[in-house]
Structure 1
């Protein structure tokens, strides 16, 4: 599970919040001077090839997380597979280029521009005269009007997940001819290019029944290079075939089959030929790279130094077999068969490669400001100043060979028009400043701590039973002042070790947890400023309180609940959480890392506000004034007395940020809108509700002869160009990287 979380189209929830108060921001970027957008950190990696080198046939089997519950992207349960189907089968007036900026899609639009601003904004679309639906009907004003009415928010019978932008439209009408569509806005709308992408036929948008149910399982009419042939839930497939009425460059592939494969099963699915293209995690990427380098060679024989039994036992232990599996002839036979099958799969993996780029998304540390210590802006800012974001980016990206550059904006990524590094509004890592902020908030090193009640103590100090794993490290506290507990009381210890290995050897050990002196420091740990070589005998305990001491206030320790997912594929997040916990410990903030099931991680913890710290990702949008506003909007009281937080799961917001978003969305001056977005980002940094860390790596395993597909980066995929190389053809000598 990738834990991109939910996109900016997520369902609105209610919860408590805290205003960040008036923020003194001394430096605001984006107010003139050179453009700071820069370039994307990495281009797309798709094995680009000219169309004349691509075979005019073939089936691409593409791994997805699940068969989509709906084919309607405007419904709340739409997912990434829904988007893929829409991109391949439906019109989009604009698509993203290599820098994440919208560009007119000439297959559908001859032109689109604002033709009037007074008294109201009017956009005139001139459609490609060849653009038709697969039933032969021309794409026209009736389709635009039906989509506007369905998504305007005026008719609650439509179960829509979003109406941003459509709620600003006053009317949609035919222009001077059938190829013109005239859209009049009731209020100025800067992000008008975000609308009608994708565009559904009026058959889908024309009534609540057809919108709510008609396009969930079928898409009878399409207007892209492909059309939906079937959704086979039994076989876990969505089958797309060539659209015979497509007027653009014909699709090279006969079919694209989107096949549901769990993330932890994808490398095996590649090896056995089930799929040709699949997003993989770092472990999967390493396995494929290892196979390509011939790391699946014999484990015994001349020169190996191992007998067959020893080799089988070692291989079996490494692959989850019992240590006693090779102790009998039957067990040896079973292991021989399993290892032979494994080697065969590794050989098959040599036909694949890993294509690398960055997803248009970033991972952040979220700080829940609704209650507890993080309700105080000073504590949130102290957490942020304790972090070395460069180190965290290197932890994740350096082993992958990707640029380890921290993300400097909440609202855009490097290369996008609105991007600028506004992190200076909060400041870089500064241990002294973090400690000063905590002291100002009343958190005192080594302050008196109330003894927890007996029941609470047994529950791990936070109302839950501590993990009782056999290793003993969770129940005794982590080496860096961190509890590690499982939601079900039994968190897998291997995952703890994964995080520790990613951090390297831990040689800084706190005096205890929650302010209690555990006497864990050793004088030879070198933490106390002694002269080089002045080591005490190994095992000698340091004096009490020699290391970083836990902070306390009003008899309570400063301890934060850090929620992380427990499932396969989340090892990176857990490693990052472990490194962050170590950084926070250096300023006296203790953390309790709590591992929870993937299926409840976002819904029951992030969205419900049941966390102090959490790691999850947001996609970057080409239209931040529209898409990012609900993510950072100040929560407001609802009719029932609760607070509506939209998608602001940190519950931290300010009137200033809301006003800047409103101004940005209402201006048609693109430079002014960009500067307003950058100012909003500076204030979001200063409020310290979320700390962007690094752009998410995009690792895609692909058959070596599959071209124009892989790690797409910002650019919208060109589905009609995907395919397999002709026999004897080669990939372009100088592919366009992004």
Structure 2
């Protein structure tokens, strides 16, 4: 369920072809390092408040509940023990603040892990962290007591018993079956007060944590102010936190540039358009604005300037006085944004194209493989990442990212972009050009049958063969390629799209460079000149996308994918739905053919990724249990490989099994990884040891503001 929470957010944010085989070089190096301006602790001032933007005030502070989100994780990382945390390459490492050591001391007859705790580690009420806390968390998460409303039990369900070791600082955990991902357990660790009873677990930690044990403690959750306030823990035994306070403040993504400018936050993950604003602010000197010579600038020139600086069309089509006020406010914000930097890396997450294999044309593996072979994944990665100055390398694994030990490019099991091969696969599946097509009811979508009916608003979605450019085009008609051919546009040439041309990387101005070809661009040689049909039905798929703020990049990527699919004769209907219904009513419900959303990478793929790719299982009531496999395509072999990887204590063997599972997932062609998600963070320039963290778990006690007169230069933490 860590993944479920991330998926929803990942779908809306910026939005995460070599042969199959080992790629240890790629596994050893992240594509982009973290960008946090690391400095020695003695260069960081003591005191101050860090205001950090989050999407929402967490509904729960219990990370093991279904409605936990990224804010929940931020709080837990700062105030609770974690036996292991991730390093810059995404590998789990023992956390010395809580552990002296943790190792497997027996394998026969059963696996036994011995934890030796830091003798200084205590809860904020003065009690030592010990075996009683481990026992309470195991019993709550073992899955044996349904009164605990837990979202996940993986790993804890393999524990047979937990005992005190030779002294109070030792905890012996005995497993009923071997468990490779034992390092994933007890991170975070909650006090027995939270885990000891179902009532305390279910309700006691939703809005408060009376007992904590991190560099910070929880002072309050203020829903009215949209704040979670963390304060320095006076009982903390480790390196003292530099900051007095961290305030997690809820700010919608579309308002984050304004929040940075007005001082509401010091650090915020941002979209490319806001990143561009900050970069421009540091370069501009306040000259060349349209407001010089007050009262003389025409409305036309004001609108032209505003559009060139990323204003929405709705913002510019107002009276001259209102527009002048909006521009004045924008320029004032630009002045304030000059004290911020954009720190960037790649998130430990990737964006994928999901193909719903539960019914319709995509139930046929040949059609899914044809869709996959039509995609130029390198082009899609460049579309998103190159304008941001980030490495544009397609993701080659469903189960790890470059830099992690399990990473290897398994895409060779499916094959790279090949138009002819894609067309051959479709022909083999019975989809031929020029076949008769039965007339469908107006507005009826082709493709996989909807489990809930086609109830969403299609006002932004168009009809088969149309492409949605962006929010600026609401209400406008976009001709399909078929309509263009019928009208004889450009001498009858097959146009790649509807003729819009944009430049720049600002999604408000149309997305990344090359998102759409110039009007009149002919499709590449070999493009199918007519829709494919089978049994009287055209080959058309519903491409469902979110419509809210932050979805511009997904819309641009979807438009490019639609062009690629049309080249092999597959037509798409892009349907936009509200952010609130996108995941619940469409992805989870299976009401889509094609969709874009993100999954996080994990240090423990055998455990965390298994439910994402598990074979759907029929239930007694006739429904199908899909776990988190929203493509609804799985195999017994993949399940077995995951089980084997989770059950071996040989790390090399586990890695090889994960790579084999990934190859099988590629071959099924239901989830196609595209690119690692960009991580763009607006940060006050004097804030150090914070920013775009990449794989690494943030070190909260080292964050702070640079001392006056100190120089910023990379240095190991002291």
Q: Same fold (TM over 0.5)?
A: yes
Question: What residue number does 2:336 align with?
Answer: 348
C-alpha distance after superposition, 1:125-163 (max 9, x if no partner) = 000000000000000000000000000000000000000
Pick the structure with greater CA Rg: 1
Instruction: Give the CA deviation at 1:343.
Output: 1.5
Question: What residue number does 2:153 align with?
Answer: 163
8 Å CA contact 2:40, 2:716 repeated in 1: no
TM-score, normalized by length of structure 2? 0.88
- Hey, what's the Cα distance between the residues in 1 that align with 2:88 and 2:249? 27
- Hey, what's the Cα distance between the residues in 2 that align with 1:136 and 1:546? 71
- Hey, what's the Cα distance between the residues in 2 that align with 1:291 and 1:653? 49
C-alpha distance after superposition, 1:553-584 (max 9, x if no partner) = 00000000000110111100000000000000
**Structure 2 residue 368 is the aligned partner of structure 1 residue 369:** no
Distance 1:34 1:4, change over 3 A: closer
Question: What residue number does 2:409 align with?
Answer: 421
Question: What residue number does 1:652 align with?
Answer: 633
SS at match of 1:73: coil
- Hey, what's the Cα distance between the residues in 2 that align with 1:425 and 1:552? 28
Distance 1:645 1:524, change over 3 A: closer
Question: What residue number does 2:505 align with?
Answer: none
Question: What residue number does 2:5 align with?
Answer: 6
Distance 1:295 1:552, change over 3 A: farther
Unmatched 5+ stretches in structure 2: 10-17, 448-453, 497-518
Distance 1:496 1:648, change over 3 A: farther
SS at match of 2:104: strand
Question: What residue number does 2:486 align with?
Answer: 518
- Hey, what's the Cα distance between the residues in 1 that align with 2:677 and 2:603? 17
Instruction: Give the CA deviation at 1:299.
Output: 2.2
Residues 598-677 of structure 1 aligned to structure 2 (within 5 Å)? 598-677=579-658
**Structure 2 residue 680 is the aligned partner of structure 1 residue 722:** no
Question: What residue number does 2:575 align with?
Answer: 594
Question: What residue number does 1:533 align with?
Answer: none
- Hey, what's the Cα distance between the residues in 1 that align with 2:445 and 2:138? 53
8 Å CA contact 1:147, 1:205 repeated in 2: yes
Instruction: Give the CA deviation at 1:521.
Output: 4.5
- Hey, what's the Cα distance between the residues in 1 that align with 2:430 and 2:679? 43
C-alpha distance after superposition, 1:475-495 (max 9, x if no partner) = 5x57xx33659xxxxx94537
Instruction: Give the CA deviation at 1:315.
Output: 5.2
**Structure 2 residue 105 is the aligned partner of structure 1 residue 115:** yes
- Hey, what's the Cα distance between the residues in 2 that align with 1:231 and 1:563? 36
Question: What residue number does 1:582 align with?
Answer: 563
Distance 1:128 1:5, change over 3 A: closer
Question: What residue number does 2:79 align with?
Answer: 89
User: 672, 676, 684: which one pairs with 1:695?
Assistant: 676
Distance 1:438 1:139, change over 3 A: same
Question: What residue number does 1:22 align with?
Answer: none
- Hey, what's the Cα distance between the residues in 1 that align with 2:338 and 2:42? 26
- Hey, what's the Cα distance between the residues in 2 that align with 1:635 and 1:418? 25
Distance 1:672 1:201, change over 3 A: same
C-alpha distance after superposition, 1:337-367 (max 9, x if no partner) = 4433321111000010110001100000000
Instruction: Give the CA deviation at 1:313.
Output: 5.1
**Structure 2 residue 172 is the aligned partner of structure 1 residue 193:** no
SS at match of 2:390: coil
Distance 1:146 1:282, change over 3 A: same
Question: What residue number does 1:23 align with?
Answer: none
Distance 1:527 1:616, change over 3 A: closer
Question: What residue number does 1:405 align with?
Answer: 393
Distance 1:351 1:7, change over 3 A: closer
C-alpha distance after superposition, 1:501-538 (max 9, x if no partner) = xxxxx9xx74459xxx734443374889xxxxxxxxx9
- Hey, what's the Cα distance between the residues in 2 that align with 1:412 and 1:116? 29
| RMSD (CA atoms) | 3.0
Distance 1:348 1:443, change over 3 A: same
8 Å CA contact 1:5, 1:617 repeated in 2: no
Residues 106-255 of structure 1 aligned to structure 2 (within 5 Å)? 106-255=96-245
- Hey, what's the Cα distance between the residues in 2 that align with 1:311 and 1:522? 33
Distance 1:451 1:711, change over 3 A: same
8 Å CA contact 2:467, 2:562 repeated in 1: no
- Hey, what's the Cα distance between the residues in 2 that align with 1:423 and 1:349? 42
Question: What residue number does 1:482 align with?
Answer: 466
- Hey, what's the Cα distance between the residues in 2 that align with 1:44 and 1:306? 48
- Hey, what's the Cα distance between the residues in 2 that align with 1:426 and 1:496? 39
8 Å CA contact 1:370, 1:652 repeated in 2: yes
- Hey, what's the Cα distance between the residues in 1 that align with 2:49 and 2:678? 27
**Structure 2 residue 40 is the aligned partner of structure 1 residue 50:** yes
Aligned length: 673
- Hey, what's the Cα distance between the residues in 1 that align with 2:402 and 2:705? 32
8 Å CA contact 1:459, 1:465 repeated in 2: no
Instruction: Give the CA deviation at 1:665.
Output: 0.5
Instruction: Give the CA deviation at 1:47.
Output: 1.1
Unmatched 5+ stretches in structure 1: 11-25, 327-331, 486-490, 501-505, 529-537
SS at match of 1:239: strand
